[in-house]
Amino acid sequence: MELATLARPYAEAVFELAVESNSLSQWADTLSFLNAVVTDSKFSALVRNPSVDKNALCEILLELCKEQAELNFNEEAENFVKLLINNDRLSVMPSLIKQFEKLKAEHEGYLKVEVISTYAVKTPQKKELTEALEKRFGKKVELEVNIDRSLMGGWLIRTGDQVIDLSVLGRFQHLASDLRG
């Protein structure tokens, strides 16, 4: 099963809880920290180590979270960590946080858009692109720019399930597909 599918119910449950308790930014910070820890190579090795049981793993992760005073780590967050560990779902954290951020953005009236570019996007370009995307989608846009040299030029723009492929690689692939028939 795909990680995004496994992560969806967790992301939706945390989002609903965050909205109900008016703690969206607190949960965003907590999830961001959890994601950073879970994706750390040393912690990942610990998770994969069969000699480390779930209780020990849970204690380690909870202790790390509680050490972060700025997190305001509460009982609900502690229960969430225990749930992820007991259900062997720590691996879904990267997907979970993306889905949570998307739900949060929609709730707060803006759209998270990922722009993948061959080269760094300069501030004037970002501003122009942001304005064009806000006009297209009718919402405030928050851009995240990533670099992928394999695109050969142009941009790949993603938001949710929507993809706008303005890359040279995408055009070549489209042309190749047309030529095949």
CATH number at residue 56: 1.10.520.20
- Note the pLDDT of residue 168: 87
Residue type, 117: S
Q: Do residues 94 and 117 both lie within one domain?
A: no
Q: Do residues 20 and 80 both lie within one domain?
A: yes
Q: Do residues 87 and 125 both lie within one domain?
A: no
What tokens were used for 153?
A: 């030029």
Nearest to 157 by CA among 169, 138, 144, 174: 144
Confidence of residue 57 (pLDDT cuts 50, 70, 90): very high
Q: Do residues 89 and 33 both lie within one domain?
A: yes
Once rounded to an integer, what is the mean pLDDT over residues 120-148? 91
Once rounded to an integer, what is the mean pLDDT over residues 129-151? 90
Taking 90 as the threshold, does the pLDDT of residue 138 lie above it? no
Taking 80 as the threshold, does the pLDDT of residue 160 lie above it? no
Q: Do residues 59 and 12 both lie within one domain?
A: yes
Q: Is 156:147 a contact under the CB 8 Å cutoff? A: no
- Note the pLDDT of residue 68: 82
- Note the pLDDT of residue 105: 86
Q: Do residues 68 and 54 both lie within one domain?
A: yes
Q: How many domains does the chain have?
A: 2
Confidence of residue 71 (pLDDT cuts 50, 70, 90): confident
Q: Which of 104, 132, 154 is the last residue of a domain?
A: 104
Taking 90 as the threshold, does the pLDDT of residue 130 lie above it? yes
Q: Which domain holds residue 83?
A: 3-104
Once rounded to an integer, what is the mean pLDDT over residues 151-178? 87
Residue predicted with more confidence, 1 or 170 = 170
Alpha-carbon span 151 to 140, nearest angstrom: 27
φ, ψ at 146 (rounded to 5°): -125, 155
State how far the alpha carbon of 147 is from the alpha carbons of 20, 43, 88, 91, 180, in Å.
37, 27, 32, 24, 30
Q: Do residues 37 and 81 both lie within one domain?
A: yes
Nearest to 98 by CA among 22, 159, 17: 159
Q: Which of 82, 104, 126 is the last residue of a domain?
A: 104
Arithmetic mean of pLDDT over the chain: 90
φ, ψ at 39 (rounded to 5°): -90, -5
Confidence of residue 72 (pLDDT cuts 50, 70, 90): confident
Angle, helix 75-86 to helix 24-38, in steps of 10 degrees: 40
Alpha-carbon span 38 to 10, nearest angstrom: 16
Give percent of the chain above pLDDT 90. 57
Taking 90 as the threshold, does the pLDDT of residue 127 lie above it? yes
Q: Do residues 17 and 57 both lie within one domain?
A: yes
- Note the pLDDT of residue 102: 87
